[in-house]
Structure 1
Protein backbone atom coordinates (compact mmCIF):
# COMPACT_ATOMS: atom_id res chain seq x y z
CA UNK A 1 0.00 0.00 0.00
CA UNK A 2 1.39 3.40 -0.82
CA UNK A 3 1.42 6.37 1.52
CA UNK A 4 -1.24 8.26 -0.46
CA UNK A 5 -3.84 5.50 -0.24
CA UNK A 6 -3.11 5.08 3.47
CA UNK A 7 -3.52 8.81 4.04
CA UNK A 8 -6.72 8.89 1.97
CA UNK A 9 -8.13 5.96 3.97
CA UNK A 10 -7.31 7.76 7.20
CA UNK A 11 -8.98 10.95 6.02
CA UNK A 12 -12.08 9.03 4.93
CA UNK A 13 -12.22 7.27 8.29
CA UNK A 14 -11.89 10.59 10.11
CA UNK A 15 -14.68 12.12 8.02
CA UNK A 16 -16.91 9.11 8.81
CA UNK A 17 -16.14 9.45 12.54
CA UNK A 18 -16.84 13.19 12.48
CA UNK A 19 -20.22 12.68 10.79
CA UNK A 20 -21.10 9.97 13.31
CA UNK A 21 -20.25 12.16 16.30
CA UNK A 22 -22.10 15.15 14.85
CA UNK A 23 -25.18 12.95 14.24
CA UNK A 24 -25.05 12.18 17.97
CA UNK A 25 -25.08 15.87 18.89
CA UNK A 26 -21.37 16.60 19.40
CA UNK A 27 -19.92 19.87 18.09
CA UNK A 28 -16.53 20.14 16.41
CA UNK A 29 -14.00 22.35 18.22
CA UNK A 30 -10.86 21.34 16.30
CA UNK A 31 -9.73 18.79 13.74
CA UNK A 32 -6.16 17.52 13.26
CA UNK A 33 -4.96 19.88 15.99
CA UNK A 34 -1.17 19.72 16.22
CA UNK A 35 1.35 20.74 18.84
CA UNK A 36 4.94 19.82 19.66
CA UNK A 37 3.95 16.61 21.45
CA UNK A 38 1.40 15.19 19.04
CA UNK A 39 -1.87 15.52 17.19
CA UNK A 40 -5.51 15.33 18.21
CA UNK A 41 -7.74 13.88 15.48
CA UNK A 42 -11.01 15.40 16.64
CA UNK A 43 -11.75 17.69 19.56
CA UNK A 44 -15.49 17.75 20.12
CA UNK A 45 -17.92 19.24 22.60
CA UNK A 46 -20.53 16.90 24.10
CA UNK A 47 -22.74 19.25 26.11
CA UNK A 48 -20.16 20.90 28.37
CA UNK A 49 -17.62 18.05 28.11
CA UNK A 50 -14.57 18.40 25.89
CA UNK A 51 -14.08 15.11 24.03
CA UNK A 52 -10.69 14.18 22.61
CA UNK A 53 -11.58 11.61 19.96
CA UNK A 54 -8.87 9.38 18.53
CA UNK A 55 -9.86 7.86 15.19
CA UNK A 56 -8.22 4.51 14.43
CA UNK A 57 -8.65 2.77 11.10
CA UNK A 58 -7.41 -0.71 10.32
CA UNK A 59 -7.59 -2.36 6.95
CA UNK A 60 -6.40 -5.68 8.38
CA UNK A 61 -6.45 -7.08 11.89
CA UNK A 62 -3.29 -9.17 11.54
CA UNK A 63 -1.47 -6.84 13.97
CA UNK A 64 -4.54 -6.27 16.13
CA UNK A 65 -7.66 -4.29 15.45
CA UNK A 66 -8.21 -0.57 15.61
CA UNK A 67 -9.10 -0.59 19.32
CA UNK A 68 -5.98 -2.53 20.29
CA UNK A 69 -3.81 0.01 18.46
CA UNK A 70 -4.44 2.62 21.18
CA UNK A 71 -1.76 1.30 23.51
CA UNK A 72 -0.29 2.86 26.66
CA UNK A 73 2.26 4.89 24.69
CA UNK A 74 -0.45 6.29 22.40
CA UNK A 75 -2.70 7.12 25.37
CA UNK A 76 0.15 9.02 27.05
CA UNK A 77 0.83 10.97 23.86
CA UNK A 78 -2.87 11.85 23.53
CA UNK A 79 -3.02 12.99 27.16
CA UNK A 80 -0.01 15.28 26.67
CA UNK A 81 -1.48 16.78 23.48
CA UNK A 82 -4.85 17.28 25.21
CA UNK A 83 -3.11 19.09 28.06
CA UNK A 84 -1.45 21.43 25.54
CA UNK A 85 -4.81 22.03 23.84
CA UNK A 86 -6.44 22.98 27.14
CA UNK A 87 -3.55 25.30 28.04
CA UNK A 88 -3.98 27.12 24.72
CA UNK A 89 -7.78 27.23 24.91
CA UNK A 90 -8.60 28.94 28.23
CA UNK A 91 -12.32 28.75 27.50
CA UNK A 92 -12.19 24.96 27.90
CA UNK A 93 -9.42 24.73 30.52
CA UNK A 94 -11.79 23.90 33.39
CA UNK A 95 -14.38 21.91 31.46
CA UNK A 96 -14.81 18.20 32.14
CA UNK A 97 -12.91 16.11 29.57
CA UNK A 98 -12.90 12.57 28.28
CA UNK A 99 -11.02 10.48 25.77
CA UNK A 100 -13.03 8.54 23.21
CA UNK A 101 -11.80 6.11 20.59
CA UNK A 102 -13.59 5.68 17.29
CA UNK A 103 -12.35 2.41 15.89
CA UNK A 104 -13.14 1.72 12.26
CA UNK A 105 -12.43 -1.67 10.78
CA UNK A 106 -12.41 -2.00 7.00
CA UNK A 107 -15.49 -3.84 5.89
CA UNK A 108 -18.23 -3.04 3.45
CA UNK A 109 -19.80 -1.00 4.90
CA UNK A 110 -17.09 0.01 7.41
CA UNK A 111 -17.76 -1.08 11.00
CA UNK A 112 -17.54 1.84 13.43
CA UNK A 113 -17.11 1.23 17.17
CA UNK A 114 -17.40 4.39 19.31
CA UNK A 115 -15.91 3.80 22.73
CA UNK A 116 -16.80 6.66 25.04
CA UNK A 117 -14.48 7.38 27.95
CA UNK A 118 -12.09 4.78 26.52
CA UNK A 119 -9.34 5.50 29.03
CA UNK A 120 -8.47 7.70 32.00
CA UNK A 121 -5.37 9.82 32.40
Structure 2
Protein backbone atom coordinates (compact mmCIF):
# COMPACT_ATOMS: atom_id res chain seq x y z
CA UNK A 1 0.00 0.00 0.00
CA UNK A 2 1.31 3.45 -0.88
CA UNK A 3 2.10 5.82 1.99
CA UNK A 4 -0.60 8.26 0.80
CA UNK A 5 -3.21 5.48 0.72
CA UNK A 6 -2.20 4.28 4.18
CA UNK A 7 -2.47 7.85 5.51
CA UNK A 8 -5.94 8.22 3.99
CA UNK A 9 -7.12 4.90 5.41
CA UNK A 10 -5.79 5.85 8.86
CA UNK A 11 -7.56 9.21 8.61
CA UNK A 12 -10.86 7.53 7.77
CA UNK A 13 -10.51 5.19 10.76
CA UNK A 14 -9.73 8.14 13.05
CA UNK A 15 -12.68 10.09 11.61
CA UNK A 16 -15.06 7.15 12.09
CA UNK A 17 -13.92 6.72 15.70
CA UNK A 18 -14.35 10.46 16.29
CA UNK A 19 -17.90 10.45 14.91
CA UNK A 20 -18.81 7.36 16.94
CA UNK A 21 -17.50 9.12 20.08
CA UNK A 22 -19.97 11.94 19.30
CA UNK A 23 -22.82 9.44 19.15
CA UNK A 24 -23.01 9.42 15.35
CA UNK A 25 -23.35 5.79 14.22
CA UNK A 26 -21.13 4.94 11.23
CA UNK A 27 -22.88 2.38 9.01
CA UNK A 28 -20.69 2.22 5.89
CA UNK A 29 -17.10 2.93 4.84
CA UNK A 30 -15.63 3.59 1.41
CA UNK A 31 -18.78 2.93 -0.59
CA UNK A 32 -18.05 3.11 -4.31
CA UNK A 33 -20.06 3.20 -7.48
CA UNK A 34 -19.33 4.35 -11.01
CA UNK A 35 -20.13 7.95 -10.01
CA UNK A 36 -17.61 8.16 -7.17
CA UNK A 37 -16.96 7.25 -3.56
CA UNK A 38 -18.37 8.12 -0.16
CA UNK A 39 -15.81 7.96 2.64
CA UNK A 40 -18.22 7.44 5.55
CA UNK A 41 -21.97 7.00 5.80
CA UNK A 42 -23.48 7.55 9.23
CA UNK A 43 -26.72 8.13 11.06
CA UNK A 44 -27.17 11.00 13.52
CA UNK A 45 -30.63 10.66 15.04
CA UNK A 46 -32.98 10.74 12.04
CA UNK A 47 -30.38 12.25 9.71
CA UNK A 48 -28.31 10.40 7.13
CA UNK A 49 -24.79 11.82 7.29
CA UNK A 50 -22.36 11.63 4.38
CA UNK A 51 -18.88 12.44 5.69
CA UNK A 52 -16.03 13.51 3.44
CA UNK A 53 -12.71 12.81 5.15
CA UNK A 54 -9.54 14.66 4.19
CA UNK A 55 -6.26 13.67 5.82
CA UNK A 56 -2.93 15.47 5.67
CA UNK A 57 0.39 15.22 7.49
CA UNK A 58 0.63 18.99 7.91
CA UNK A 59 -0.90 22.29 6.86
CA UNK A 60 2.02 22.99 4.52
CA UNK A 61 -0.23 22.79 1.44
CA UNK A 62 -3.34 24.25 3.08
CA UNK A 63 -6.02 22.99 5.41
CA UNK A 64 -7.74 19.76 4.36
CA UNK A 65 -11.13 21.50 4.29
CA UNK A 66 -9.86 23.74 1.48
CA UNK A 67 -9.82 20.76 -0.89
CA UNK A 68 -13.59 20.22 -0.62
CA UNK A 69 -14.98 22.05 -3.63
CA UNK A 70 -18.52 22.93 -4.66
CA UNK A 71 -18.26 20.26 -7.37
CA UNK A 72 -17.26 17.66 -4.76
CA UNK A 73 -20.23 18.62 -2.57
CA UNK A 74 -22.62 18.32 -5.54
CA UNK A 75 -21.19 14.88 -6.33
CA UNK A 76 -21.62 13.83 -2.69
CA UNK A 77 -25.30 14.84 -2.77
CA UNK A 78 -25.78 12.66 -5.87
CA UNK A 79 -23.88 9.79 -4.26
CA UNK A 80 -26.01 10.09 -1.12
CA UNK A 81 -29.16 9.51 -3.16
CA UNK A 82 -27.57 6.55 -4.94
CA UNK A 83 -26.37 5.03 -1.66
CA UNK A 84 -29.83 5.47 -0.09
CA UNK A 85 -31.53 3.74 -3.01
CA UNK A 86 -29.06 0.85 -3.08
CA UNK A 87 -29.32 0.25 0.66
CA UNK A 88 -33.05 1.05 1.02
CA UNK A 89 -32.29 3.55 3.76
CA UNK A 90 -34.68 6.50 3.70
CA UNK A 91 -34.26 8.96 6.52
CA UNK A 92 -36.09 12.29 6.64
CA UNK A 93 -32.94 14.41 6.52
CA UNK A 94 -29.56 14.40 4.80
CA UNK A 95 -26.43 16.20 5.94
CA UNK A 96 -22.97 16.39 4.41
CA UNK A 97 -20.17 16.78 6.93
CA UNK A 98 -16.46 17.29 6.49
CA UNK A 99 -13.84 15.74 8.73
CA UNK A 100 -10.24 16.94 8.58
CA UNK A 101 -7.46 14.83 10.07
CA UNK A 102 -3.97 16.21 10.55
CA UNK A 103 -1.76 13.22 11.33
CA UNK A 104 1.87 14.35 11.58
CA UNK A 105 3.21 10.92 12.56
CA UNK A 106 6.42 10.53 14.51
CA UNK A 107 4.53 9.74 17.69
CA UNK A 108 2.67 13.05 17.64
CA UNK A 109 -1.08 12.74 18.15
CA UNK A 110 -3.46 13.39 15.24
CA UNK A 111 -5.89 16.29 15.32
CA UNK A 112 -9.45 15.73 14.11
CA UNK A 113 -11.79 18.60 13.14
CA UNK A 114 -15.45 18.16 12.19
CA UNK A 115 -17.74 20.55 10.34
CA UNK A 116 -21.44 19.69 10.20
CA UNK A 117 -23.62 20.58 7.23
CA UNK A 118 -21.00 21.83 4.79
CA UNK A 119 -23.07 21.26 1.71
TM-score by length of structure 2 reads 0.88
State how many pairs are aligned.
Answer: 116
1:105 and 2:114 matched: no
The CA distance in 2 between the partners of 1:111 and 1:41, in whole Å, is: 18
The separation in 2 between residues aligned to 1:35 and 1:42, in whole angstroms, is 14
1:43 equivalent in structure 2 = 41
Which consecutive aligned stretches of 4+ in structure 1 deviate over 4 angstroms post-superposition?
A: none
Inter-partner Cα distance in structure 1 for 2:23 and 2:88 = 23
- Taking the aligned partners of 1:78 and 1:91, their CA distance within structure 2 comes to 16
Determine which structure has greater relative contact order: mean sequence separation of CA pairs < 8 Å that are 6+ residues apart, divided by chain length: 2
Residues 54-112 of structure 1: CA deviation (Å, up to 9, x unaligned): 110122434321010101121122122112112223232x4211000001123431111
Q: Alignment RMSD, CA only?
A: 1.5
My pick for the range that moved more, 30-39 or 71-80, is 71-80
Aligned residue number for residue 118 of structure 1: 118
**Is 2:76 the partner of 1:96?**
no
1:56-71 pair list within 5 angstroms: 56-71=54-69
Q: How does 1:14-93 map to 2 (within 5 A)?
A: 14-92=12-90
Structure 2 unpaired stretches of 5+: none
Which stretches in structure 1 are left out of the alignment for 5+ residues?
A: none
CA distance in 1, matches of 2:76, 2:8: 17
- Distance apart, 1:49 and its partner CA: 0.7
State the Cα distance separating 1:52 from its structure 2 match.
0.3
Change (3 A) 1:89 1:95: farther
